[in-house]
């Protein structure tokens, strides 16, 4: 297997020949579903061809859905039974099928794509494209289109109760991009910190810049301020209105203590990530900390990738005036990373209240979905060996499973059962008996009519449910 | 002037009151065109209001075209005679008029917006929007849409003569973004270097990361390899096919020497920025260095922001396999920064040959424009005190002016004459008698029918032409 005679090749590039040969073996069943292909380097050496040639062949196989790539694990043959094989030319988007299609994907970054209000969105995009306005063709102002910043400031005032100037807002292609700008704004000696558990990408980005990093543990009321005081942190990243993944709302006293911490030292700042705050199903609106801050110590951030669709990369941050001045002086040479057409469409989408309506629509949908999944969960064997932790927010809950499986085994058997899961420990370095074997169940992308089937399948991966 | 009685305000936010008052004074001519407004902070103190309130008011004035903001200089009242004032609601895009409108803008980053093939582009954008394909709504693969990477690899093979795999390509929202990724890939101890004169933003980005930086001088054949050998540079940024702003083509011997430099030490790499290489009006196609590199030492980069429109932020880089492996291991957590819809549209635009046609169209246009401006230049007084340096490439030439004005005076009088100019020294730290008072004349955005008028105006700024 996987040694091919290059002399059989009748012209054309080697990678196409290689791709064709492997594809034939997959279709004929000579290479079985789930089988692991040799590494690019190994096959290249064996065939005496370049690594790029093999990479090209594998890319094509992945793009057509014959093979899937798994991070740090290698290349695996897909189960063709579960994929519609097209005899002729690849269908329009088959060449984008680079990810394994799971029966159900509970991972934290998933969302319901069919909720995207594409008709309205497309209308504004068409409008932007047809305007032929020089302002949409010229280099976009580095903070982003004024129209969009104005729409965001009005939205924030009406829906999050905070008053910010459009001149304080910076638009960027995703939150990660804005974190990069912030890290650079604070400089390389600044120690960043985040809640544990929490958003791990900030750590990766921060370490990429070589900045020192700390994690601060949380308790039932969120970030433990004493631990923060004991740390070297200069800038702390928090989600006080909806902590990820626990859903904890930081109470007012602790918010005040956090602001006090920041006010004590000039270089201290708080990054308030308001991600997911739109999805809260019970109780009153939780105001952002930004609203309480009278000393310009809070940077407010949010993204549209979670509330619209992940492929639209638009996030924003609100800087206090002193930081914005520093930004203007040192970083205005960075061009805005978001296309002007999408900024225009989003500005209209927000200012004509479609965004608000969409959020309400999503909130209702997710609320129902949450109810459905929690009630279905009670009826499957899994409920007997697990406890739900949830606080009526976000698109997920925590499920602590009492099992003799290790976390590694859970990941493996879930994957074998064609379920994509994430665990509390994916977001925490402080794993203990209490939070071990705790699944983060994001139900946003689960099809409602399949909930019971999927939860039954989930039950089956645990030996305790089968006994 | 500029003291207003806040008690006159009849409700509504203070910034709107302030904006209204200043606007009235401008319209009534109480504040004169060209007059400088007080700084935000000064006015805030005087009026006893917050800086943000003033910023809001100024932003509105800028957005409606009454005031312009000039980097590091302050806020100036616009000449309303040159702006169409709309009595009622601001026109659709007046709120984006944040930049001063010059009679002519010769700065290096300008281009001809009316050449953008919006009909075809919009067709593909509409197609992308109407597809409703999950692959365009899901998180985009971190390297970018496979379809686009494939189209770029085919374009590079056919038009730049280099063979790269789609798996070697990373798509990003602008070249600056990709430089950030590269700097992080090489790590904080890596010394970056660039040609002097050259692309200064790379220095700014690199210093932002805290990396050491060096400039390497050029001679008539481009980068001086001896100087590079004597430097501490690990990674050098070059534009061998079309050096900016001189248009120098690095000859083959020097390219070989540069590759030899890289091959001597494992950590050495060459970043080949192929920006503007599409615009060469005479002689044969200049192959990229990437084509000569048999040791995987060259990173190839290019952008679509210069060849399409600046507001479409799509650039790409081609990494040698070893670097791509490092990227995959350490940076695949960075989401792609470009919206999937635009990636899809660009993929179709390239693969259906519209990009190639557009480039040819632009090349012809710029070639004519070049001829027009060079021949008009001979007929104005400026020609008597200046020498043209040009090498049939890009959208600019160098104009050395023999004048008693200093560079600072040139900038000031040009600005007063409503001309935007850039100088050689904007791109070089090594200014000497030879390159002093050398204008970089980018003619891409100059309206053909106004060339003579504009060059006459340019002549008038130099006292030698008036004598």
Distance CA A342, CA A312 (A): 8
User: Residue A39 — left, alpha, or beta (φ > 0 → left; ψ -120 to 50 → alpha)?
Assistant: beta
Asked if A38 and A46 touch (Cβ cutoff 8 Å), the reply is: yes
Whether residue A149 lies inside any domain: the answer is yes
- Cβ–Cβ of B165/A52 closer than 8 Å? yes
SS3 label, residue B48: coil
Q: Which of B12, B18, B96 to mutate to test the interface with A (most CBs of A within 10 A)?
A: B96
Identify the CATH number of the domain in which residue B11 sits. 1.10.10.10
Using CA coordinates, name the residue in chain B closest to A99.
Answer: B141
Residues A224 and A326 in one domain: yes
Q: Can you give the pLDDT at residue B85?
A: 31
DSSP string covering B12-31: S-HHHHHHHHHHHHHHTTSS
Whether residue A93 lies inside any domain: the answer is no
Residues A382 and A448 in one domain: yes
pLDDT band at residue B65, thresholds of 50, 70 and 90?
low
Residues B272 and B411 in one domain: no
Q: Can you give the pLDDT at residue B87?
A: 30
Q: Which of A25-34, A80-89, B312-321 has the highest mean pLDDT?
A: B312-321
Q: Sort out which chain A residues have CB atoms less than 8 A from B134's CB and list them.
A: 93, 113
- Cβ–Cβ of B339/A313 closer than 8 Å? yes
User: Residue A458 — left, alpha, or beta (φ > 0 → left; ψ -120 to 50 → alpha)?
Assistant: alpha
B108 closest CA partner among B359, B410, B421, B419: B421
ipTM over 0.85: no
Give yes or no for residue A289 having a pLDDT over 70.
yes
A137 closest CA partner among B105, B310, B124, B107: B310
Residues B320 and B180 in one domain: yes
Residues A230 and A260 in one domain: yes
- Cβ–Cβ of A96/B133 closer than 8 Å? yes
Closest in B166, B312, B339 to A312, CB measured: B339
Which of the 8 DSSP states describes residue A280? B
Residues B219 and B143 in one domain: yes
Convert the pLDDT of each residue in A406-439 to its tens digit. Answer: 999 999 999 999 999 999 999 998 878 888 999 9
- Cβ–Cβ of B113/A337 closer than 8 Å? no
Core vs surface per residue A427-465: b (16+ CB within 10 A) or e:
bbeebeeebebbbbbbbbbbeeeebeebbebbbbbbebb
How many other C-beta atoms lie within 10 A of the C-beta of residue B311? Answer: 25
Distance CA A450, CA A443 (A): 11
Q: How many CB pairs under 8 A join A and B?
A: 212
Q: Which of A352, A376, A410 is the last residue of a domain?
A: A352
Q: Which of B352, B370, B393 is the last residue of a domain?
A: B352
Identify the CATH number of the domain in which residue A410 sits. 3.90.1150.10
Whether residue A1 lies inside any domain: the answer is no
Q: Which of B329, B352, B375 is the last residue of a domain?
A: B352
Chain-wide mean pLDDT for chain B? 87
Range from A303-312, A322-331, B56-65 carrying the lowest mean pLDDT:
B56-65
- The answer to whether the pTM exceeds 0.90 is no
Give yes or no for residue A320 having a pLDDT over 70.
yes
Q: Six-digit token pair at A265?
A: 């030292």
Identify the CATH number of the domain in which residue A141 sits. 3.40.640.10
Residues A317 and A375 in one domain: no
Distance CA A219, CA B230 (A): 57
Q: Sort out which chain B residues have CB atoms less than 8 A from A51's CB and list them.
A: 321
Convert the pLDDT of each residue in B410-421 to its tens digit. Answer: 999 999 999 999
Q: How many domains does chain B have?
A: 3
**Placement of tokens 């070297």 in the chain:** A232
Closest in B98, B122, B331 to A130, CB measured: B122
Closest in B113, B132, B336 to A118, CB measured: B132
Tell me how close the Cα of A31 comes to any Cα of chain B, in angstroms: 24
Residues A201 and A297 in one domain: yes
Which distant-in-sequence residues (6+ apart) come within 8 Å of A226 by Cβ?
none
Whether residue B97 lies inside any domain: the answer is no
Q: Six-digit token pair at A231?
A: 């740390």
Convert the pLDDT of each residue in B175-209 to its tens digit. Answer: 999 999 999 999 989 999 999 999 889 999 999 88
Residues A348 and A361 in one domain: no
Convert the pLDDT of each residue in B116-150 to its tens digit. Answer: 888 899 999 989 988 877 778 888 899 999 999 99
- Cβ–Cβ of B167/A59 closer than 8 Å? yes
Which distant-in-sequence residues (6+ apart) come within 8 Å of B276 by Cβ?
B239, B242, B244, B306, B393, B394, B395
| Segments of A220-259 assigned E as strands | 222-223, 235-238
**How far is C-alpha A297 from the geometric centre of its chain's CA atoms?**
26
Q: Which of B165, B205, B348 to mutate to test the interface with A (most CBs of A within 10 A)?
A: B165
Residues A31 and A162 in one domain: no
Whether residue A153 lies inside any domain: the answer is yes
Convert the pLDDT of each residue in B244-261 to its tens digit. Answer: 999 899 999 999 999 999
Residues B337 and B428 in one domain: no
Whether residue A121 lies inside any domain: the answer is no
Tell me how close the Cα of B131 comes to any Cα of chain A, in angstroms: 9
Distance CA A64, CA A20 (A): 12
Average pLDDT over residues B39-66: 82
Chain-wide mean pLDDT for chain A? 87
Tell me how close the Cα of B138 comes to any Cα of chain A, in angstroms: 6
pLDDT band at residue A53, thresholds of 50, 70 and 90?
confident
pLDDT band at residue A277, thresholds of 50, 70 and 90?
confident
Q: Can you give the pLDDT at residue B23?
A: 80
pLDDT band at residue A91, thresholds of 50, 70 and 90?
very low
Tell me how close the Cα of B363 comes to any Cα of chain A, in angstroms: 19
Beta-bridge partner residues of A301 = A273, A317
Give yes or no for residue A274 having a pLDDT over 90.
yes
Distance CA B213, CA B234 (A): 10
Exposed/middle/buried for B228, CB within 10 Å: 0-12, 13-18, 19+? buried
Whether residue B215 lies inside any domain: the answer is yes
Residues A206 and A297 in one domain: yes
Convert the pLDDT of each residue in A97-148 to its tens digit. Answer: 345 678 888 887 777 788 888 889 999 998 998 887 777 888 889 999 999 9
Give yes or no for residue A459 having a pLDDT over 70.
yes
Domain that holds residue B442: 104-112+357-465
Whether residue B221 lies inside any domain: the answer is yes
């Amino acid at each position: 297997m996987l040694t091919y005679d290059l002399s059989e090749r009748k012209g054309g590039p080697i990678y196409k020949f290689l791709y064709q040969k492997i594809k034939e073996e997959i279709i004929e069943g000579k290479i079985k579903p789930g089988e692991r292909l040799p590494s690019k380097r190994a096959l290249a050496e064996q065939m005496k061809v370049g690594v790029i040639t093999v990479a090209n062949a594998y890319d094509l196989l992945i793009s057509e859905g014959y093979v899937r790539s798994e991070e740090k694990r290698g290349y695996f043959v897909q189960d063709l039974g579960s994929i519609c094989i097209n005899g002729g030319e690849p269908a329009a988007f088959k060449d984008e099928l680079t990810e394994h299609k799971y029966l159900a994907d509970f991972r934290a970054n998933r969302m319901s794509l069919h909720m995207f209000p594409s008709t309205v969105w497309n209308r504004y995009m068409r409008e932007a494209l047809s305007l032929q306005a020089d302002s949409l063709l010229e280099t976009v102002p580095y903070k982003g289109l004024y129209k969009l910043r104005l729409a965001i400031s009005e939205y924030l005032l009406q829906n999050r109760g905070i008053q910010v100037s459009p001149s304080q807002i910076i638009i960027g292609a995703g939150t990660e991009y804005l974190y990069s700008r912030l890290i650079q704004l604070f400089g390389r000696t600044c120690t960043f910190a985040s809640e544990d558990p929490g958003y791990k990408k900030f750590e990766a980005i921060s370490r990429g810049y070589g900045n020192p990093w700390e994690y601060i543990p949380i308790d039932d009321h969120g970030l433990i301020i004493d631990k923060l005081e004991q740390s070297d942190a200069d800038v702390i990243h928090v989600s006080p209105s909806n902590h990820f993944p626990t859903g904890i709302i930081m109470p007012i006293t602790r918010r005040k203590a956090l602001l006090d911490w920041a006010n004590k030292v000039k270089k201290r700042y708080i990054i308030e990530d308001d991600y997911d705050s739109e999805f809260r199903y019970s109780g009153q609106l939780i105001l952002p900390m930004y609203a309480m801050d009278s000393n310009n110590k809070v940077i407010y951030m949010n993204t549209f990738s979670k509330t619209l669709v992940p492929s639209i990369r638009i996030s924003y941050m609100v800087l206090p005036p002193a930081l914005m001045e520093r930004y203007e002086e040192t970083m205005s040479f960075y061009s805005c990373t978001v296309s002007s057409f999408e900024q225009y469409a989003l500005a209209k989408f927000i200012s004509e209240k479609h965004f608000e309506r969409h959020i309400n629509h999503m909130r209702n949908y997710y609320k129902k979905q949450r109810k459905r999944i929690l009630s279905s969960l009670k009826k499957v064997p899994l409920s007997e060996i697990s406890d739900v932790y949830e606080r009526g927010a976000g698109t997920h809950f925590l499920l602590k499973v009492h099992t003799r499986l290790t976390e590694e085994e859970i990941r493996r058997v879930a994957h074998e059962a064609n379920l994509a899961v994430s665990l509390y420990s994916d977001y925490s370095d402080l794993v203990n008996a209490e939070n071990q074997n705790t699944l983060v169940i994001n139900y946003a992308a689960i099809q409602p009519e399949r909930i019971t089937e999927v939860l039954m399948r989930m039950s089956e991966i645990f030996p305790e449910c089968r006994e």
